[in-house]
Amino acid sequence: MRFSIVFFSAAGHTLKVIRHVAEQMGGVDRTVDLSNPFLKECTFGKDERVIIACPVYGGRIPGLVVERLRKVTFESTRVITLVTYGNRAYEDALLELNDTILVRGGIPIASAAVVTQHSMVPTVAANRPTEIDFQNLSVFARFALQKYDDMHAVPVEVSGNRPYRAWSKMPVTPVVSGKCVRCGMCIQRCPTMAIWITDPKKTDPSKCILCMRCVAMCPQGARSLPPAAQQAIEKKLAPVAKLTRENEFFF
Ligand SMILES: Cc1cc2nc3c(=O)[nH]c(=O)nc-3n(C[C@H](O)[C@H](O)[C@H](O)COP(=O)(O)O)c2cc1C
């Protein structure tokens, strides 16, 4: 039986992970992209199989994911949940994702926290997921699949604390260099429509969630974090840059 995937992946790392897990389980049926600002309401039935994934932001799940998941309803659907994180820590993110799914009517039955390249500092965990990570994810997928044979679905217990840790994004937006050719791709792909439709050099700070999509996908490499912010994040992440964190799996 094929799976539906529901995901938020600003810079593409989460998408790689959820696709791999879904392929190991028989392939993808329905796709719900939470980065779509025009997302329509959707419902998953009891017998559908769903995988949900999103990145960790500040040890939490992005507020945008919580907001967009309000459009998704589950009818006691069993859900596999994944968070990806850039080698620092995932803290309360997986717990928050699972709590959110429960509130929406789903039952998280297997979960994983997966190390991926850091989307703000690509030199951190640069090679993750490795071949071995993908092999681990394949084993996770096989075990998770078996959970669908259980008659009684019980929510999986994962790491994390309530109340969730406090986090707010840095008060900056990406800057644009002279390499910008105004192709408009960043405007079209921004999950929050934060970039001015008539001028890609302007980003609305009240809408921008600093997800890095525009930086990652700009064909000209014209967008980046402001240098001072980039340096501050690199300094903060320096201690974890040399560590090799393991993926964590919960059944
Ligand atoms: C705003 C922001 C906050 C982040 N916070 C964390 C964090 O708390 N811990 C961590 O290890 N990685 C953190 N990361 C890294 C991402 O979780 C990681 O790179 C993720 O795989 C990105 O997924 P994506 O490429 O699908 O957008 C953060 C990235 C961004 C953009």
Residue-wise pLDDT tens digits, 154-169: 999 999 999 999 999 9
Alpha-helical runs (H) found in the chain: 13-24, 63-69, 93-103, 131-146, 185-189, 213-217, 227-241
Instruction: State whether 90 and 206 are in the same domain.
Output: no
Instruction: State whether 150 and 49 are in the same domain.
Output: yes
For residue 243, being part of any structural domain is answered with no
Q: What distance lies between CA 215 and its chain's CA centroid?
A: 16
Cβ proximity of 84 and 114 under 8 Å: yes
Kindly report the protein residue whose alpha carbon is nearest to atom 19 of ligand 1: 118
Q: Is the pTM of this model over 0.75?
A: yes
For residue 242, being part of any structural domain is answered with no
Q: Which domain holds residue 17?
A: 3-164
Instruction: State whether 220 and 117 are in the same domain.
Output: no
Encode pLDDT of 168-208 as tens digits: 999 999 999 999 999 999 999 999 999 999 999 999 999 99
Instruction: State whether 159 and 80 are in the same domain.
Output: yes
For residue 239, being part of any structural domain is answered with no
Using the mean position of ligand 1's atoms as its centre, give its distance from the Cα of residue 161 in Å.
19
Q: CB 161: neighbour CB atoms within 10 A?
A: 11
Using the mean position of ligand 1's atoms as its centre, give its distance from the Cα of residue 102 in Å.
23
Stretch 224-250: mean pLDDT? 97
* Residue 120 Cβ < 6 Å to ligand 1: yes
For residue 97, being part of any structural domain is answered with yes
